[in-house]
Structure 1
Amino acid sequence: MKALGETAVLITGGSRGIGSAVAERFASVGMKVIIHYLQAHEAANEVARRCLQYGGDVLTVTADLRSRDQLLRMQEKLELHGFTPDILVNNAGVAHYGLFTDVTEEEWDDNMAINLKGMFMCTQLFAPHMISQKYGRIINVSSVWGLTGASCEVMYSTAKGGVNAFTKALAKELAPSGVTVNAVAPGVVETDMIKHLNAEERALLQSDIPAGRLASPEEIASLVYFLALPESSYITGQVISPNGGWQT
Protein backbone atom coordinates (compact mmCIF):
# COMPACT_ATOMS: atom_id res chain seq x y z
CA MET A 1 0.00 0.00 0.00
CA LYS A 2 1.39 3.37 -1.03
CA ALA A 3 1.56 6.42 1.19
CA LEU A 4 -1.36 8.82 0.74
CA GLY A 5 0.76 11.37 -1.10
CA GLU A 6 1.82 8.71 -3.60
CA THR A 7 -1.64 7.24 -4.16
CA ALA A 8 -3.36 8.51 -7.30
CA VAL A 9 -7.10 8.63 -7.90
CA LEU A 10 -8.76 9.25 -11.27
CA ILE A 11 -12.29 10.65 -11.26
CA THR A 12 -14.07 10.63 -14.60
CA GLY A 13 -16.55 13.45 -15.04
CA GLY A 14 -14.78 15.31 -12.26
CA SER A 15 -15.61 18.87 -13.30
CA ARG A 16 -18.94 19.17 -11.48
CA GLY A 17 -21.50 17.59 -9.17
CA ILE A 18 -20.58 14.33 -7.49
CA GLY A 19 -17.32 14.13 -9.43
CA SER A 20 -16.00 17.46 -8.17
CA ALA A 21 -17.01 16.61 -4.59
CA VAL A 22 -15.16 13.30 -4.87
CA ALA A 23 -12.06 15.06 -6.20
CA GLU A 24 -12.01 17.48 -3.28
CA ARG A 25 -12.58 14.69 -0.75
CA PHE A 26 -9.53 12.78 -1.93
CA ALA A 27 -7.46 15.95 -2.26
CA SER A 28 -8.27 16.81 1.38
CA VAL A 29 -6.20 13.81 2.57
CA GLY A 30 -3.25 14.55 0.30
CA MET A 31 -3.83 12.07 -2.52
CA LYS A 32 -2.76 12.78 -6.09
CA VAL A 33 -5.98 13.72 -7.87
CA ILE A 34 -6.74 13.39 -11.58
CA ILE A 35 -9.78 15.32 -12.76
CA HIS A 36 -11.14 14.05 -16.05
CA TYR A 37 -13.51 16.13 -18.18
CA LEU A 38 -14.77 16.24 -21.75
CA GLN A 39 -15.46 19.89 -22.62
CA ALA A 40 -15.81 21.75 -19.31
CA HIS A 41 -12.23 23.03 -19.28
CA GLU A 42 -12.79 26.03 -17.02
CA ALA A 43 -14.98 24.09 -14.60
CA ALA A 44 -12.33 21.37 -14.32
CA ASN A 45 -9.65 23.99 -13.67
CA GLU A 46 -11.79 25.53 -10.93
CA VAL A 47 -12.13 22.14 -9.23
CA ALA A 48 -8.37 21.70 -9.60
CA ARG A 49 -7.76 25.08 -7.94
CA ARG A 50 -9.91 24.06 -4.97
CA CYS A 51 -8.07 20.75 -4.71
CA LEU A 52 -4.68 22.45 -4.84
CA GLN A 53 -5.57 24.42 -1.72
CA TYR A 54 -5.05 21.20 0.23
CA GLY A 55 -1.43 21.09 -0.90
CA GLY A 56 -1.42 17.89 -2.96
CA ASP A 57 -0.73 17.18 -6.63
CA VAL A 58 -3.56 17.68 -9.12
CA LEU A 59 -3.80 17.01 -12.83
CA THR A 60 -6.65 17.69 -15.27
CA VAL A 61 -7.11 15.55 -18.37
CA THR A 62 -9.61 15.58 -21.19
CA ALA A 63 -10.88 12.61 -23.18
CA ASP A 64 -14.05 11.41 -24.83
CA LEU A 65 -14.88 8.21 -22.97
CA ARG A 66 -16.50 6.89 -26.13
CA SER A 67 -13.12 6.86 -27.89
CA ARG A 68 -10.48 4.25 -27.05
CA ASP A 69 -7.86 6.30 -28.91
CA GLN A 70 -8.52 9.33 -26.71
CA LEU A 71 -8.45 7.18 -23.58
CA LEU A 72 -5.11 5.70 -24.64
CA ARG A 73 -3.69 9.20 -25.08
CA MET A 74 -5.02 10.12 -21.65
CA GLN A 75 -3.36 7.04 -20.19
CA GLU A 76 -0.04 7.99 -21.80
CA LYS A 77 -0.27 11.49 -20.32
CA LEU A 78 -0.95 10.12 -16.85
CA GLU A 79 1.98 7.72 -17.04
CA LEU A 80 4.25 10.53 -18.28
CA HIS A 81 3.37 12.65 -15.24
CA GLY A 82 3.56 9.76 -12.76
CA PHE A 83 -0.18 9.75 -12.13
CA THR A 84 -1.12 6.14 -12.95
CA PRO A 85 -4.30 5.64 -10.87
CA ASP A 86 -4.44 3.23 -7.96
CA ILE A 87 -8.08 4.21 -7.46
CA LEU A 88 -10.53 4.64 -10.32
CA VAL A 89 -13.86 6.38 -9.79
CA ASN A 90 -16.05 5.85 -12.85
CA ASN A 91 -18.35 8.79 -12.29
CA ALA A 92 -19.01 10.24 -15.77
CA GLY A 93 -22.52 9.71 -17.05
CA VAL A 94 -25.52 11.29 -18.72
CA ALA A 95 -29.20 11.07 -17.88
CA HIS A 96 -32.12 10.93 -20.28
CA TYR A 97 -35.76 11.76 -19.63
CA GLY A 98 -38.55 10.85 -22.03
CA LEU A 99 -40.95 8.20 -23.17
CA PHE A 100 -39.38 4.89 -24.15
CA THR A 101 -41.28 4.93 -27.44
CA ASP A 102 -39.60 8.23 -28.38
CA VAL A 103 -36.02 7.03 -27.83
CA THR A 104 -34.05 6.88 -31.07
CA GLU A 105 -31.43 4.30 -31.88
CA GLU A 106 -28.79 7.04 -31.95
CA GLU A 107 -29.79 8.25 -28.46
CA TRP A 108 -29.69 4.70 -27.14
CA ASP A 109 -26.23 4.00 -28.58
CA ASP A 110 -24.80 7.28 -27.30
CA ASN A 111 -26.23 6.84 -23.80
CA MET A 112 -24.84 3.31 -23.53
CA ALA A 113 -21.49 4.44 -24.91
CA ILE A 114 -21.07 7.08 -22.21
CA ASN A 115 -22.67 5.35 -19.22
CA LEU A 116 -21.52 1.80 -19.86
CA LYS A 117 -18.92 1.41 -22.59
CA GLY A 118 -16.82 4.32 -21.30
CA MET A 119 -16.72 2.74 -17.86
CA PHE A 120 -15.71 -0.59 -19.40
CA MET A 121 -12.88 0.87 -21.48
CA CYS A 122 -11.55 3.06 -18.67
CA THR A 123 -11.52 0.15 -16.26
CA GLN A 124 -9.91 -2.17 -18.78
CA LEU A 125 -7.06 0.31 -19.32
CA PHE A 126 -6.25 0.95 -15.67
CA ALA A 127 -7.06 -2.36 -13.97
CA PRO A 128 -3.82 -4.09 -15.12
CA HIS A 129 -1.72 -1.65 -13.05
CA MET A 130 -3.80 -2.43 -9.97
CA ILE A 131 -3.59 -6.17 -10.61
CA SER A 132 0.19 -6.03 -11.04
CA GLN A 133 0.69 -4.22 -7.73
CA LYS A 134 -1.89 -6.43 -5.96
CA TYR A 135 -3.84 -3.40 -4.78
CA GLY A 136 -6.51 -1.15 -6.21
CA ARG A 137 -9.98 0.26 -5.88
CA ILE A 138 -12.58 0.58 -8.63
CA ILE A 139 -15.71 2.50 -7.64
CA ASN A 140 -18.52 2.92 -10.14
CA VAL A 141 -21.11 5.63 -9.68
CA SER A 142 -24.47 4.11 -10.58
CA SER A 143 -28.01 5.19 -9.67
CA VAL A 144 -30.93 3.99 -7.61
CA TRP A 145 -32.72 3.62 -10.96
CA GLY A 146 -30.27 0.88 -11.87
CA LEU A 147 -31.72 -1.07 -8.95
CA THR A 148 -35.42 -0.24 -9.17
CA GLY A 149 -35.98 1.16 -12.67
CA ALA A 150 -37.82 4.38 -13.42
CA SER A 151 -40.68 5.29 -15.72
CA CYS A 152 -39.55 7.60 -18.53
CA GLU A 153 -35.93 6.73 -17.73
CA VAL A 154 -35.79 3.27 -19.28
CA MET A 155 -32.55 3.89 -21.16
CA TYR A 156 -30.74 5.40 -18.16
CA SER A 157 -32.05 2.68 -15.84
CA THR A 158 -30.84 0.01 -18.27
CA ALA A 159 -27.36 1.51 -18.47
CA LYS A 160 -27.02 1.82 -14.70
CA GLY A 161 -28.35 -1.73 -14.26
CA GLY A 162 -25.49 -2.76 -16.53
CA VAL A 163 -23.05 -0.84 -14.32
CA ASN A 164 -24.29 -2.80 -11.31
CA ALA A 165 -23.93 -6.16 -13.06
CA PHE A 166 -20.47 -5.18 -14.31
CA THR A 167 -19.49 -4.29 -10.75
CA LYS A 168 -20.58 -7.61 -9.26
CA ALA A 169 -18.98 -9.73 -11.96
CA LEU A 170 -15.66 -7.86 -12.10
CA ALA A 171 -15.39 -7.89 -8.30
CA LYS A 172 -15.27 -11.69 -8.36
CA GLU A 173 -12.65 -11.69 -11.09
CA LEU A 174 -10.32 -9.18 -9.42
CA ALA A 175 -10.72 -10.16 -5.76
CA PRO A 176 -7.77 -12.62 -5.83
CA SER A 177 -5.57 -9.74 -7.01
CA GLY A 178 -6.40 -7.48 -4.05
CA VAL A 179 -8.55 -5.16 -6.15
CA THR A 180 -12.04 -4.31 -4.93
CA VAL A 181 -14.89 -3.26 -7.20
CA ASN A 182 -17.99 -1.57 -5.79
CA ALA A 183 -20.79 0.68 -6.96
CA VAL A 184 -22.46 3.64 -5.32
CA ALA A 185 -26.07 4.05 -6.47
CA PRO A 186 -27.34 7.38 -5.13
CA GLY A 187 -30.91 8.53 -4.88
CA VAL A 188 -31.64 12.14 -5.80
CA VAL A 189 -28.61 14.40 -5.41
CA GLU A 190 -28.36 18.20 -5.69
CA THR A 191 -26.62 18.31 -9.08
CA ASP A 192 -27.27 19.58 -12.59
CA MET A 193 -29.05 16.31 -13.38
CA ILE A 194 -32.16 17.57 -11.57
CA LYS A 195 -32.08 21.17 -12.76
CA HIS A 196 -35.03 20.43 -15.05
CA LEU A 197 -37.33 20.06 -12.01
CA ASN A 198 -39.46 23.02 -11.02
CA ALA A 199 -40.14 24.02 -7.39
CA GLU A 200 -43.36 22.03 -7.18
CA GLU A 201 -41.73 18.89 -8.57
CA ARG A 202 -38.81 19.22 -6.15
CA ALA A 203 -41.14 19.62 -3.19
CA LEU A 204 -43.16 16.56 -4.22
CA LEU A 205 -39.99 14.54 -4.63
CA GLN A 206 -38.64 15.56 -1.24
CA SER A 207 -41.94 14.62 0.40
CA ASP A 208 -41.46 11.05 -0.84
CA ILE A 209 -38.02 10.74 0.74
CA PRO A 210 -38.12 9.63 4.40
CA ALA A 211 -35.08 11.80 5.17
CA GLY A 212 -37.09 14.77 3.89
CA ARG A 213 -34.38 16.19 1.67
CA LEU A 214 -32.09 15.56 -1.27
CA ALA A 215 -28.51 14.37 -0.85
CA SER A 216 -25.54 16.68 -1.19
CA PRO A 217 -22.70 15.67 -3.52
CA GLU A 218 -20.38 15.71 -0.50
CA GLU A 219 -22.41 12.96 1.19
CA ILE A 220 -22.00 10.72 -1.84
CA ALA A 221 -18.30 11.59 -1.99
CA SER A 222 -17.87 10.43 1.61
CA LEU A 223 -19.15 6.97 0.72
CA VAL A 224 -16.91 6.80 -2.35
CA TYR A 225 -13.95 7.74 -0.17
CA PHE A 226 -14.84 5.11 2.44
CA LEU A 227 -14.91 2.39 -0.20
CA ALA A 228 -11.45 3.47 -1.36
CA LEU A 229 -9.84 3.10 2.08
CA PRO A 230 -7.41 0.24 2.76
CA GLU A 231 -9.67 -0.74 5.67
CA SER A 232 -12.48 -1.43 3.18
CA SER A 233 -10.63 -4.31 1.55
CA TYR A 234 -13.30 -6.89 2.49
CA ILE A 235 -16.08 -4.90 0.82
CA THR A 236 -16.31 -5.86 -2.85
CA GLY A 237 -19.02 -6.62 -5.37
CA GLN A 238 -21.48 -4.40 -3.51
CA VAL A 239 -23.98 -1.90 -4.87
CA ILE A 240 -24.65 0.56 -2.05
CA SER A 241 -27.51 3.03 -2.42
CA PRO A 242 -27.42 6.20 -0.26
CA ASN A 243 -30.96 7.46 -0.87
CA GLY A 244 -32.36 8.75 2.44
CA GLY A 245 -34.54 5.68 2.83
CA TRP A 246 -36.39 6.48 -0.40
CA GLN A 247 -35.86 3.11 -2.07
CA THR A 248 -35.13 -0.03 -0.05
Structure 2
Amino acid sequence: MYPILNITIPQEKRKEINAKILYVIDNNLTEKYNITPEIVYNTYTGKGGLHELSFNDYSSFYEYTKKKQSIEEGQFFTPHHICKFIVDCIKPKESDLICDMTAGMGNFANWLPIQENVYLNEIDISCVKIMKYLYPKANITASDIRDYNPDVKMDIVFGNPPFGIDLIVEGNKFKFEYYYFLKANEILKEGGLLAIIVPNYFLEDEFSHKFYIESINNMFELLVQFKLPKDIFSYVGVKNYETKAMILQKRICF
Protein backbone atom coordinates (compact mmCIF):
# COMPACT_ATOMS: atom_id res chain seq x y z
CA MET A 1 0.00 0.00 0.00
CA TYR A 2 1.22 3.48 -0.84
CA PRO A 3 1.14 5.97 2.04
CA ILE A 4 -0.88 9.17 1.85
CA LEU A 5 1.69 11.96 1.75
CA ASN A 6 1.01 15.52 2.83
CA ILE A 7 1.45 16.99 -0.65
CA THR A 8 -0.62 19.92 -1.92
CA ILE A 9 -0.74 20.41 -5.69
CA PRO A 10 -1.55 24.02 -6.72
CA GLN A 11 -4.43 24.12 -9.19
CA GLU A 12 -2.32 26.00 -11.75
CA LYS A 13 0.39 23.30 -11.60
CA ARG A 14 -1.81 20.23 -11.99
CA LYS A 15 -1.79 19.99 -15.78
CA GLU A 16 1.99 20.40 -15.94
CA ILE A 17 2.63 17.82 -13.22
CA ASN A 18 0.24 15.32 -14.79
CA ALA A 19 2.01 15.66 -18.14
CA LYS A 20 5.47 15.21 -16.58
CA ILE A 21 4.37 12.09 -14.71
CA LEU A 22 2.98 10.52 -17.89
CA TYR A 23 6.13 11.45 -19.80
CA VAL A 24 8.51 9.75 -17.38
CA ILE A 25 6.29 6.64 -17.18
CA ASP A 26 5.93 6.42 -20.98
CA ASN A 27 9.69 6.72 -21.43
CA ASN A 28 10.80 4.53 -18.49
CA LEU A 29 12.49 7.48 -16.81
CA THR A 30 11.04 7.13 -13.33
CA GLU A 31 14.30 5.91 -11.79
CA LYS A 32 16.39 8.52 -13.59
CA TYR A 33 14.28 11.35 -12.18
CA ASN A 34 13.67 9.64 -8.84
CA ILE A 35 9.91 9.43 -9.41
CA THR A 36 8.60 6.71 -7.12
CA PRO A 37 5.18 5.03 -7.13
CA GLU A 38 4.44 6.87 -3.87
CA ILE A 39 5.02 10.21 -5.62
CA VAL A 40 2.85 9.23 -8.59
CA TYR A 41 0.08 8.01 -6.29
CA ASN A 42 0.06 11.32 -4.41
CA THR A 43 0.55 13.80 -7.26
CA TYR A 44 -1.31 12.59 -10.39
CA THR A 45 -4.73 14.28 -10.33
CA GLY A 46 -6.40 13.58 -13.70
CA LYS A 47 -8.60 15.78 -15.89
CA GLY A 48 -11.25 16.86 -13.38
CA GLY A 49 -11.29 20.63 -12.97
CA LEU A 50 -8.89 21.21 -15.87
CA HIS A 51 -11.40 22.25 -18.54
CA GLU A 52 -9.91 25.78 -18.91
CA LEU A 53 -13.17 27.05 -20.42
CA SER A 54 -14.84 30.42 -19.97
CA PHE A 55 -18.59 30.53 -19.36
CA ASN A 56 -18.74 33.81 -21.32
CA ASP A 57 -17.78 31.98 -24.51
CA TYR A 58 -21.00 29.92 -24.49
CA SER A 59 -24.60 30.86 -25.21
CA SER A 60 -26.01 28.98 -22.21
CA PHE A 61 -25.00 27.24 -19.02
CA TYR A 62 -26.14 23.98 -20.61
CA GLU A 63 -23.73 24.33 -23.54
CA TYR A 64 -20.92 25.32 -21.20
CA THR A 65 -21.57 22.35 -18.91
CA LYS A 66 -21.76 19.86 -21.77
CA LYS A 67 -18.46 21.06 -23.21
CA LYS A 68 -16.85 20.95 -19.77
CA GLN A 69 -18.07 17.39 -19.22
CA SER A 70 -16.79 16.27 -22.63
CA ILE A 71 -13.29 17.48 -21.74
CA GLU A 72 -13.20 16.24 -18.15
CA GLU A 73 -15.13 13.01 -18.85
CA GLY A 74 -16.43 13.26 -15.29
CA GLN A 75 -12.94 12.35 -14.12
CA PHE A 76 -12.73 13.36 -10.46
CA PHE A 77 -10.68 10.82 -8.54
CA THR A 78 -11.98 9.76 -5.14
CA PRO A 79 -9.62 11.22 -2.52
CA HIS A 80 -7.27 8.65 -1.01
CA HIS A 81 -8.56 8.96 2.55
CA ILE A 82 -12.17 8.50 1.40
CA CYS A 83 -11.20 5.33 -0.52
CA LYS A 84 -9.42 3.98 2.54
CA PHE A 85 -12.41 4.70 4.76
CA ILE A 86 -14.88 2.97 2.42
CA VAL A 87 -12.61 -0.06 1.96
CA ASP A 88 -12.21 -0.25 5.75
CA CYS A 89 -16.01 -0.30 6.04
CA ILE A 90 -16.21 -3.32 3.71
CA LYS A 91 -13.14 -5.17 5.07
CA PRO A 92 -12.40 -7.27 1.95
CA LYS A 93 -10.85 -10.70 2.40
CA GLU A 94 -7.76 -11.85 0.50
CA SER A 95 -9.88 -14.36 -1.42
CA ASP A 96 -12.43 -11.77 -2.62
CA LEU A 97 -12.58 -10.90 -6.31
CA ILE A 98 -12.93 -7.13 -6.47
CA CYS A 99 -13.71 -4.76 -9.34
CA ASP A 100 -13.83 -1.05 -10.12
CA MET A 101 -15.35 -0.50 -13.58
CA THR A 102 -14.49 3.22 -13.86
CA ALA A 103 -11.31 3.04 -11.85
CA GLY A 104 -9.66 6.35 -12.77
CA MET A 105 -6.10 5.91 -11.49
CA GLY A 106 -7.17 3.05 -9.20
CA ASN A 107 -7.47 4.85 -5.87
CA PHE A 108 -9.60 2.11 -4.30
CA ALA A 109 -7.07 -0.55 -5.38
CA ASN A 110 -4.36 0.81 -3.11
CA TRP A 111 -6.21 -0.40 -0.01
CA LEU A 112 -7.19 -3.87 -1.25
CA PRO A 113 -5.50 -7.05 0.02
CA ILE A 114 -4.15 -8.75 -3.13
CA GLN A 115 -3.58 -7.10 -6.51
CA GLU A 116 -4.01 -10.36 -8.42
CA ASN A 117 -7.66 -10.49 -7.31
CA VAL A 118 -8.38 -6.89 -8.34
CA TYR A 119 -10.01 -6.02 -11.68
CA LEU A 120 -9.68 -2.40 -12.82
CA ASN A 121 -11.29 -0.92 -15.91
CA GLU A 122 -10.93 2.61 -17.27
CA ILE A 123 -11.58 4.19 -20.65
CA ASP A 124 -8.96 6.92 -20.30
CA ILE A 125 -5.60 5.63 -21.58
CA SER A 126 -3.55 8.04 -19.45
CA CYS A 127 -5.18 6.64 -16.32
CA VAL A 128 -4.61 3.08 -17.52
CA LYS A 129 -0.88 3.84 -17.83
CA ILE A 130 -0.84 5.19 -14.27
CA MET A 131 -2.66 2.11 -12.94
CA LYS A 132 -0.34 -0.31 -14.72
CA TYR A 133 2.60 1.49 -13.14
CA LEU A 134 1.09 1.54 -9.65
CA TYR A 135 -0.58 -1.89 -9.67
CA PRO A 136 1.36 -4.10 -12.08
CA LYS A 137 -0.16 -7.36 -10.80
CA ALA A 138 -3.80 -6.23 -11.08
CA ASN A 139 -6.08 -7.22 -13.96
CA ILE A 140 -6.32 -3.92 -15.85
CA THR A 141 -8.33 -3.22 -18.99
CA ALA A 142 -8.95 -0.12 -21.12
CA SER A 143 -12.59 -0.34 -22.08
CA ASP A 144 -15.87 1.53 -22.25
CA ILE A 145 -17.95 0.32 -19.30
CA ARG A 146 -20.69 -0.66 -21.74
CA ASP A 147 -18.33 -3.23 -23.27
CA TYR A 148 -16.64 -4.37 -20.08
CA ASN A 149 -16.86 -8.08 -19.29
CA PRO A 150 -14.34 -9.50 -16.79
CA ASP A 151 -15.55 -13.11 -17.40
CA VAL A 152 -15.66 -13.78 -13.65
CA LYS A 153 -18.24 -12.96 -11.01
CA MET A 154 -17.15 -10.49 -8.35
CA ASP A 155 -17.53 -10.51 -4.59
CA ILE A 156 -17.22 -6.73 -4.29
CA VAL A 157 -17.56 -3.79 -6.67
CA PHE A 158 -16.30 -0.33 -5.75
CA GLY A 159 -17.08 2.71 -7.84
CA ASN A 160 -17.10 6.45 -8.23
CA PRO A 161 -18.73 6.74 -11.67
CA PRO A 162 -18.76 10.02 -13.60
CA PHE A 163 -21.51 12.35 -12.35
CA GLY A 164 -24.29 13.78 -14.48
CA ILE A 165 -23.26 12.18 -17.77
CA ASP A 166 -25.73 10.41 -20.06
CA LEU A 167 -24.96 7.02 -21.61
CA ILE A 168 -26.72 5.63 -24.66
CA VAL A 169 -27.08 1.86 -24.38
CA GLU A 170 -28.85 0.01 -27.20
CA GLY A 171 -30.77 3.16 -28.06
CA ASN A 172 -31.79 3.89 -24.47
CA LYS A 173 -30.46 6.84 -22.44
CA PHE A 174 -29.34 6.26 -18.85
CA LYS A 175 -27.64 8.36 -16.24
CA PHE A 176 -24.12 7.04 -15.81
CA GLU A 177 -24.66 6.58 -12.07
CA TYR A 178 -27.67 4.33 -12.67
CA TYR A 179 -25.91 2.35 -15.39
CA TYR A 180 -23.15 1.57 -12.89
CA PHE A 181 -25.76 -0.17 -10.73
CA LEU A 182 -26.95 -2.18 -13.74
CA LYS A 183 -23.45 -3.25 -14.66
CA ALA A 184 -22.53 -4.06 -11.04
CA ASN A 185 -25.61 -6.26 -10.77
CA GLU A 186 -24.47 -8.06 -13.92
CA ILE A 187 -20.95 -8.90 -12.70
CA LEU A 188 -21.56 -9.42 -8.96
CA LYS A 189 -22.20 -12.78 -7.33
CA GLU A 190 -25.49 -13.11 -5.49
CA GLY A 191 -24.96 -11.59 -2.07
CA GLY A 192 -22.01 -9.55 -3.36
CA LEU A 193 -21.43 -5.99 -2.20
CA LEU A 194 -21.49 -2.70 -4.10
CA ALA A 195 -19.88 0.39 -2.57
CA ILE A 196 -20.53 3.44 -4.71
CA ILE A 197 -20.16 7.21 -4.51
CA VAL A 198 -22.90 9.27 -6.18
CA PRO A 199 -24.15 12.87 -6.03
CA ASN A 200 -26.31 13.49 -3.00
CA TYR A 201 -29.31 14.34 -5.21
CA PHE A 202 -29.23 10.93 -6.94
CA LEU A 203 -32.25 8.80 -5.90
CA GLU A 204 -33.45 11.55 -3.52
CA ASP A 205 -36.54 12.61 -5.50
CA GLU A 206 -39.14 9.83 -5.26
CA PHE A 207 -41.06 11.31 -8.20
CA SER A 208 -38.41 12.09 -10.83
CA HIS A 209 -36.17 9.18 -9.79
CA LYS A 210 -39.01 6.69 -9.29
CA PHE A 211 -37.87 4.35 -12.08
CA TYR A 212 -34.28 4.30 -10.85
CA ILE A 213 -35.31 3.77 -7.22
CA GLU A 214 -37.63 0.85 -8.01
CA SER A 215 -35.12 -0.75 -10.37
CA ILE A 216 -32.23 -0.52 -7.90
CA ASN A 217 -34.42 -1.81 -5.06
CA ASN A 218 -35.20 -4.87 -7.18
CA MET A 219 -31.49 -5.55 -7.69
CA PHE A 220 -30.00 -4.54 -4.34
CA GLU A 221 -30.72 -4.16 -0.66
CA LEU A 222 -29.38 -0.91 0.76
CA LEU A 223 -27.25 -1.64 3.82
CA VAL A 224 -26.08 1.87 4.67
CA GLN A 225 -25.57 5.29 3.11
CA PHE A 226 -23.89 8.39 4.46
CA LYS A 227 -23.06 11.86 3.26
CA LEU A 228 -19.46 12.72 2.50
CA PRO A 229 -17.83 16.08 3.28
CA LYS A 230 -18.83 18.78 0.76
CA ASP A 231 -15.19 19.63 0.05
CA ILE A 232 -13.87 16.15 -0.83
CA PHE A 233 -13.04 17.34 -4.37
CA SER A 234 -11.46 20.60 -3.24
CA TYR A 235 -8.05 19.26 -4.28
CA VAL A 236 -9.17 19.73 -7.90
CA GLY A 237 -10.83 23.10 -7.37
CA VAL A 238 -14.39 21.93 -6.55
CA LYS A 239 -14.93 23.28 -3.06
CA ASN A 240 -18.62 22.54 -2.51
CA TYR A 241 -20.26 19.47 -4.05
CA GLU A 242 -22.54 17.21 -2.04
CA THR A 243 -21.97 13.48 -2.45
CA LYS A 244 -22.84 10.31 -0.56
CA ALA A 245 -21.52 6.79 -0.26
CA MET A 246 -23.91 3.87 -0.58
CA ILE A 247 -23.16 0.27 0.39
CA LEU A 248 -25.59 -2.27 -1.03
CA GLN A 249 -25.90 -6.06 -1.30
CA LYS A 250 -27.03 -7.84 -4.44
CA ARG A 251 -30.26 -9.66 -3.75
CA ILE A 252 -30.23 -13.44 -3.64
CA CYS A 253 -32.69 -15.15 -5.96
CA PHE A 254 -34.54 -18.11 -4.47
TM-score, with normalisation over the residues of structure 2? 0.44
Larger radius of gyration: 2
Instruction: Indicate the structure with greater helix content.
Output: 1
TM-score for both structures, normalised by structure 1: 0.45
Which gives a bigger RCO, structure 1 or 2 (Cα 8 Å, sep 6+)? Answer: 1
More strand by percentage:
2
